[in-house]
């Protein structure tokens, strides 16, 4: 199919772009060091004495808060800065194909980074008898979480040719997605608002929806939530790009 | 091949392009002249479908650019202003990407890349990344990208900008040769270029067409027969208030 081969060409180019520059390797090393640090030191993996990856997944919403916008910030800003956006969008390619291709490439890259954390799975299996179904669910949740942040970054990246602004905007929006359901915040909110309101606000948070995955529950509602965040943010990316082109 | 009807582009209250109409047929090379900010690039961006017009219509080979963009875009090869390219890609990688988006596969893609590389003299830099190229090579890479699928319609925004005199001569020759069986529009500030390569000239100023004819016809308007005098007589420098 034509649409698919266009998307494939764009994915290939984007992924190639990561690995021809040192960015990809620097990112992967930092990602793995940080996940290690949070899991073992901050999350006290060994002291817990549990055969689970709770201390690994718990930190992902916070870790991704900075790491994912760092990957996504260049998606469209770079195209605008270099002027290649004009080239890309005058090719026989629809804007949607370009948006999805770029998004998928970065998502695959993040999936690769996540896949490289496999030693932690081996470790926990070697030390004890974890429920690997729970671990699998955790990985699914983590990749959906990364995709949601990435879609937000794609949107903020389309707004500006300045990567720093794009990064900061996307961190702010993702931070909101965390805080809306972060316990200290919901606790504070429940003092001034009715439980119903708190619940509604928390329903917008990635924390609320990531929690199930950490417990090993694959709930369709959570999957739908992450899919809608991605769908909405990518749709917004398209709107932003269309408005810019219309002047 | 190219049909532009009553094209208008407004940026806020400012009319960048104000009611422009013209057609370009196969075998024609149209030179687009005008002072900086006259609306040349904006017009080209509308013709290639990068920005939608505020009003008016662009048709490429019978396909409406707004309603049926993909078939229209397939017919066009476009060199945007400043010949943008992906900085971290090699020339070969970049051309291969362009060919892939143009639907060229396998042997056909290889052949197309080879032909474009030969036409634009890129053999020496094929495996260099674009950010290491000199301006001349970068421009020719952009040109090669536009020619990769041997398009029926070729649109180039200042194709000889930043080239040395030898390269300018080569590119003019190339445009002229290709003009025999394509519809070509290119913009330039160099008036000799128009005489050397174009079959027709359009001069635009403040978003309007102020002259449209063959280079010989336009030259005849000046007592000395110089295109430059005509250009200066009918366009205003941007230091003058409208």
Q: What is the pLDDT of residues B146-192, one digit of tens each?
A: 999 999 999 999 998 878 888 888 888 889 999 999 999 999 988 88
Residue A11 and residue B125: Cα distance in Å, rounded? 25
Tokens of A32: 């793995």
Assess whether pLDDT exceeds 80 at residue A128: yes
Place of tokens 């997944």: A57
Contact between residue B46 and residue B7 where contact means Cβ atoms under 8 Å apart: yes
Task: Kindly list the strands in the beta sheet with B2-11, ordered across the sheet, starting from the edge strand earlier in the chain.
Answer: B14-24, B2-11, B55-60, B63-64
Assess whether pLDDT exceeds 90 at residue A8: yes
Interface of A with B in 218-247 (CB under 8 A): 245-247
Task: Give B156's strand partners.
Answer: B79, B186
Tokens of B100: 């892939």
Task: Give B200's strand partners.
Answer: B30
Residue B220 and residue B93: Cα distance in Å, rounded? 48
Binning pLDDT at 50, 70 and 90, where does residue B223 land? confident
3-state secondary structure of A55: helix
This complex has an ipTM of 0.91
Compute and round to an integer the Cα radius of gyration of chain A.
19
The pLDDT of residue B182: 94
Residue partners of A227: CB distance under 8 A and separation at least 6 = A144
The pLDDT of residue A43: 80
**Which burial class, exposed, middle or buried, applies to A146 when counting CB atoms under 10 A from its CB (0-12, 13-18, 19+)?**
buried
The segment with the largest mean pLDDT, out of A31-40, A136-145, A176-185, is A136-145
Measured in angstroms, the CA of B93 and the nearest CA of chain A are apart by 8
- Number of neighbouring beta carbons within 10 Å of residue B23: 13
Chain A residues with CB-CB distance to B76 below 8 A: 90
The pLDDT of residue A239: 96
* Among candidates A6, A21, A83 on the partner chain, residue whose Cβ is nearest the Cβ of B101: A6
Q: What is the pLDDT of residues B52-79, one digit of tens each?
A: 999 999 999 999 999 999 999 999 999 9
Chain B residues with CB-CB distance to A247 below 8 A: 9-11, 51
Q: What is the number of alpha carbons within 13 Å of residue A78 lying toward its C-beta?
A: 17
Tokens of B180: 């025999």
Contact between chains at A91 and B73 (C-beta distance less than 8 A): yes
- Dihedral sign for Cα B61, B64, B68, B69, please: positive
Q: What is the pLDDT of residues A169-193, one digit of tens each?
A: 999 999 999 998 888 888 888 888 8
Residue of B239 and A11 predicted with greater confidence:
A11
Mapped to the 3 state alphabet, what secondary structure does B32-77 carry? EECCCCCCHHHHHHHHCCCCCCCEEEEEECCEECCCCHHHHHHCEE
Binning pLDDT at 50, 70 and 90, where does residue A49 land? confident
- Number of neighbouring beta carbons within 10 Å of residue A156: 28
Assess whether pLDDT exceeds 60 at residue B30: yes
Assess whether pLDDT exceeds 60 at residue A144: yes
Least confident of A188-192, A240-244, B15-19: A188-192
CA nearest neighbour of B137 among B115, B175, B182, B170: B170
Domain boundaries, chain B: 1-75+155-242, 82-151
Assess whether pLDDT exceeds 80 at residue B80: yes
| Distance in Å from the first CA to the final CA of chain A | 32
Percent of chain A scoring above 70 in pLDDT: 100
The pLDDT of residue A66: 94
The pLDDT of residue A44: 82
Percent of chain B scoring above 70 in pLDDT: 98
Tokens of A92: 């026989």
Topology (CATH level 3) of domain B1-75+155-242:
Rossmann fold (3.40.50)
Residue B96 and residue B127: Cα distance in Å, rounded? 12
Q: What is the mean pLDDT of chain A?
A: 92
Q: What is the pLDDT of residues B115-151, one digit of tens each?
A: 999 988 899 999 999 999 998 899 999 999 999 999 9
Distances, alpha carbon B8 to alpha carbons A93, B42, B187, B208, in Å: 24, 10, 18, 10
Assess whether pLDDT exceeds 80 at residue B241: no
Interface test mutation site (partner A, options B10, B52, B97, max chain A beta carbons within 10 A): B97
The pLDDT of residue B44: 96
A185 interface with B at CB cutoff 8 Å: no
Assess whether pLDDT exceeds 60 at residue A1: no
In the predicted model, what is the mean pLDDT of residues A70-97?
A: 94
């Amino acid at each position: 199919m034509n649409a698919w081969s266009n998307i494939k060409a764009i994915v290939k180019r984007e992924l190639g772009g990561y690995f021809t520059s040192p960015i990809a390797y620097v990112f992967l090393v930092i990602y793995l060091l940080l996940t290690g640090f949070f899991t073992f030191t901050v999350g006290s993996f060994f002291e817990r004495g549990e055969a689970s990856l709770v201390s690994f997944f718990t930190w992902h919403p916070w870790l991704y808060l900075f790491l994912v916008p760092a990957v996504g910030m260049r998606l469209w800003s770079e195209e605008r800065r270099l002027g290649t956006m004009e080239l890309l969008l005058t090719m026989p390619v629809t804007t949607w194909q370009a948006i999805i291709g770029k998004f998928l490439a970065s998502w695959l890259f993040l999936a690769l980074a996540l896949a490289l954390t496999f030693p932690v799975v081996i470790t926990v299996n070697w030390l004890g008898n974890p429920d690997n179904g729970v671990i699998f669910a955790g990985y699914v949740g983590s990749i959906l979480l990364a995709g949601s942040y990435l879609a937000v970054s794609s949107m903020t990246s389309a707004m500006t040719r300045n990567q720093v602004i794009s990064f900061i905007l996307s961190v702010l929006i993702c931070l909101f997605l965390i805080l809306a359901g972060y316990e200290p915040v919901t606790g504070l909110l429940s003092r001034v608002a009715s439980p119903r309101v708190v619940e509604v606000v928390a329903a917008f948070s990635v924390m609320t929806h990531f929690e199930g995955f950490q417990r090993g529950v694959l709930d369709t509602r959570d999957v739908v939530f992450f899919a809608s965040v991605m769908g909405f943010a990518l749709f917004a990316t398209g709107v932003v790009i269309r408005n810019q082109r219309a002047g | 091949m190219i049909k532009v009807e009553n094209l208008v582009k407004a940026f806020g209250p400012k009319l960048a392009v104000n009611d422009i109409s013209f057609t370009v047929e196969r075998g024609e090379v149209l030179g687009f002249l005008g002072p900086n900010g006259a609306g040349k690039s904006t017009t080209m961006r509308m013709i290639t479908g990068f920005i939608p017009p505020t009003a008016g219509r662009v048709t490429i080979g019978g396909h409406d650019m707004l309603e049926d963009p993909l078939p229209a875009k397939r017919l066009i090869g476009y060199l945007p202003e400043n010949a943008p390219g992906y900085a971290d890609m090699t020339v070969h990688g970049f051309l291969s990407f362009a060919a892939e988006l143009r639907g060229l596969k396998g042997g056909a893609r290889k052949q197309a890349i080879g032909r474009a590389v030969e036409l634009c003299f890129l053999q020496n830099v094929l495996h260099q990344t674009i950010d290491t190229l000199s301006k001349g090579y970068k421009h020719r890479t952009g040109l090669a990208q536009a020619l990769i699928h041997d398009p029926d319609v070729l649109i180039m925004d200042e194709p000889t900008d930043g080239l040395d005199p030898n390269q300018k001569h080569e590119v003019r020759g190339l445009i002229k040769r290709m003009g025999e069986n394509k519809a070509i529009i290119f913009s330039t500030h160099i008036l000799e270029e128009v005489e050397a390569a174009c079959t027709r000239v359009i001069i635009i100023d403040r978003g309007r067409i102020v002259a449209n004819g063959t280079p010989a016809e336009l030259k005849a308007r000046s007592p000395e027969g110089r295109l430059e005098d005509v250009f200066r007589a009918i366009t205003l420098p941007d230091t003058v208030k409208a």
